[in-house]
Chains A and B, each alone.
Chain A
Amino acid sequence: MKWTDLLIPGFFIWLVQLLLADFLAVETIRPDFLVILVLYWAVKYGRTVGTVAGFFIGLTIDLSGTASFFGLSPLIYSITGYLGGYLMGTYSRLNPIHFSAAWVAILALQFMIFCVVQYQDIWVSNPQLFLGKWFGTTLYTLCFAGILQVIYPLHKMN
């Protein structure tokens, strides 16, 4: 693996996220292409690369403009990278449904941690709205991850 294998796609997807996420926004919810990238990297290169790449991508996201909780993105993206790394080379051993369920669960967990920290007030005062935020953010990104599965399935990384 060359460092350019990570840097060039990483920079490109960051640019896409920075410039296009707002066009694809539904109210205040935007798709997260970078988490999909971290997941793909983790499945292809394993836990170590997944964790490190997740941390640096998270740091870039927070540096690209965040109001409070600077450091939350590195935290959740490294978790995604680390957990995603466990899926490396497992497609042949796992049932395809279990494999898909695993990466969907990893993405759902990432957004859950994000929403728990970011919307802690709503979680207490209005759990329904909190669930709406969590499911909304997760499902919107999953839609794009799903489309990508048709073009370039995650298991091909294995």
Chain B
Amino acid sequence: MRGLYLAIVRNKDHLLFALSLILSTFLLLNNDNPRMGVIRGKTSEIVAFISSPMTWVKSLMFLEEENQLLREKNLALSLQIESMLNLHRENEQLLSMLDFKRQTKLYLKPARVVNKGIQPNLLSIVIDAGQEDGIERNQPVLTSKGVVGKTIETGASASIVQLITDVNYRLSVRILPSGATGILRWLGDGKGQIREVQKNVDINIGDKVITSGFSDIYPAELPVGEVAGVYDERGSFQKVVNINLPNDMSAFQYVFVIIEDSYEMD
């Protein structure tokens, strides 16, 4: 017994290393454990609280530049709204002629990015909205340019968002105008790659990419990006499509969470 004790003491560094490897592997294999989610939700609130003064300083630094951009965008959007109102009226008339019964409505919750994680690569962000604001797990997160990710853990007043840059992130998308569908994954350097696209569809550079609506998380027709390149895979019945993602992942400060996607029946 004494020999065993001495052996443990003598090799405690190796044993501790083995223990830490086992514990880390255990954590890695239990990523989806709900109890882990509760702990992560709570810590996201602490991180959001500590980061808030720095976020405030940062938003002050960019205030003037942002104001200028918003003024320009406001003007452009006002002009756009005018033409869209006309189109909306025309669309309503056509829908009533076709007796179209389904309408989609999205409820957006704005949130501020309070922290971008502390890993050496940007893979997740913490936002200052949580369960108190109606946010739950697995809700889409986007900016005005397009989809950036989804919520994965929520605390009372903060949530962790998995970004499109995470290796485990997948998104079912549709390419317009061809209507081809595929699965998007992040490729690196502001680009994404769509796989499982049928080979016989016609896809061109500059085609729009939107969400397909097949997913339980993402409603259809959210903007995702623009086609940057189309490749035929040898010995496969599928095409590979590279797309440009419109969001600069290192720059955005505000996001919107889609908290409800309701389907109203007339």
Considering the complex of A and B, which 10 residue pairs feature the smallest CB-CB distances, nearest first? Answer: A71-B27, A75-B24, A71-B28, A67-B162, A47-B13, A67-B124, A28-B122, A65-B117, A78-B20, A68-B168
Asked, given contacts A27-B250, A28-B122, A75-B24, whether A122 binds B187 with beta carbons under 8 Å apart, the answer is yes
Q: A35 CB to closest chain B CB, in angstroms?
A: 8
Can you show 6 pairs from A to B with CB atoms below 8 A apart? A32-B120, A67-B152, A67-B166, A68-B167, A71-B25, A74-B27
**Chain B 93-121 interface mask (CB, 8 Å, partner A; 1/0):** 00000000000000000000001111111
Chain B residues near A46 (CB, 8 Å)? Answer: 13
> B220: CB under 8 A from chain A?
no
Interface of A is mostly: helix
> A21: CB under 8 A from chain B?
yes
> A18: CB under 8 A from chain B?
yes
Please choose the segment from A94-102, A112-120, A148-156 that sits at the chain B interface, where 4 or more of its residues have CB less than 8 A away: A112-120
Q: A140 CB to closest chain B CB, in angstroms?
A: 8
A14 touches B20 (CB 8 A): no
**Chain A 65-107 interface mask (CB, 8 Å, partner B; 1/0):** 1111111111100110010010000000000000000000000
Which chain B residue shows the least CB distance to A69?
B28
Task: State which residues 108-150 of A face B: CB under 8 Å.
Answer: 111, 114, 118-122, 125-126, 129, 132-133, 137, 140-141
Chain B residues near A67 (CB, 8 Å)? Answer: 123-124, 149, 152, 160-163, 166, 168-169
Task: State which residues 27-49 of B face A: CB under 8 Å.
Answer: 27-31, 36, 39-40, 43-44, 47
Asked, given contacts A27-B250, A71-B25, whether A54 binds B187 with beta carbons under 8 Å apart, the answer is no
Beyond A25-B122, A32-B120, A63-B40, 20 additional contacts (C-beta under 8 Å) are: A15-B50, A18-B51, A18-B118, A22-B115, A28-B250, A29-B121, A29-B122, A55-B24, A61-B119, A63-B43, A64-B47, A64-B115, A70-B27, A71-B31, A119-B167, A120-B167, A121-B185, A129-B187, A133-B188, A137-B121
Cβ-neighbour of B188 out of A19, A65, A126 (below 8 A): A126
Measured as residues with beta carbon below 8 angstroms from the partner, the interface class of chain B is 35 or more
> B139: CB under 8 A from chain A?
no
Bound complex: CA A48 to CA B16 (Å): 7
> B249: CB under 8 A from chain A?
yes
Chain A residues near B40 (CB, 8 Å)? Answer: 63, 70
Asked, given contacts A34-B118, A48-B16, A141-B120, whether A65 binds B47 with beta carbons under 8 Å apart, the answer is yes
> B230: CB under 8 A from chain A?
no
A125 touches B193 (CB 8 A): yes
**Chain B 210-252 interface mask (CB, 8 Å, partner A; 1/0):** 0000000000000000000000000000000000000001100
A65 touches B124 (CB 8 A): yes
Chain B residues near A52 (CB, 8 Å)? Answer: 16, 20
